[in-house]
Amino acid sequence: MDNIIIKNIIKDSLLEISFEERYIQLCNRFKDYDNCKNVKNSDLNKVLNEIGFSMESVPKESIFFKEYDYKYFRLRFILPYKHGIIDCSELYWNENNSIRIYGGFRSYIREINPDIKNQIQYLSPISTSERDLKVIVQILIELHVDFLNLFSQKIE
């Protein structure tokens, strides 16, 4: 198992869950940068509890994360939340660093669709209210879970 194989499985899994279409819809629905609302740790924690998705919190870095162990590597799903811009990142690594991949929904959408800048205004959804935050996080978690389910099947 190496970086190239994992990157290909990531891309194939994203394509199979209609990531591009779903992420474009999300970003186009939540794009009001001028009225973005700063998100606090407690706001995001409340939303995660309401939707029933547990993640660890690192308030100093304004992130939540969840780790998954695979046979050859570990995956950390990261949900940063500064300034109302809600993004998702992923880090794949192993102990000897022969596997080290950092990506996220913004980088994945650019890779899948090089013309993305002409289809969305911002590469991440933007929260302007608690209601927006809940919808955004719920959709991002759905994308993550759909991806993870397919990715996990392909990787094992």
pLDDT exceeds cutoff 90 at 120: yes
Between 82 and 86, the more confident residue is 86
Mean pLDDT of 80-100: 90
Contact 90, 99 (CB under 8 A): no
What pLDDT band is residue 99 in, cutting at 50, 70 and 90? very high
Taking the C-alpha atoms of residue 55 and residue 120, their distance in angstroms, rounded to an integer, is 29
pLDDT given at position 56: 97
- For the chain, how many structural domains are there in total? 1
pLDDT in tens, 21-58: 999 999 999 999 999 999 999 999 999 999 999 999 99
- The pTM of this model reads 0.94
Pairing of strands 74-80, 89-93: antiparallel
For residue 126, give its domain range.
Answer: 3-155
Which H or E run contains 104? strand 100-104
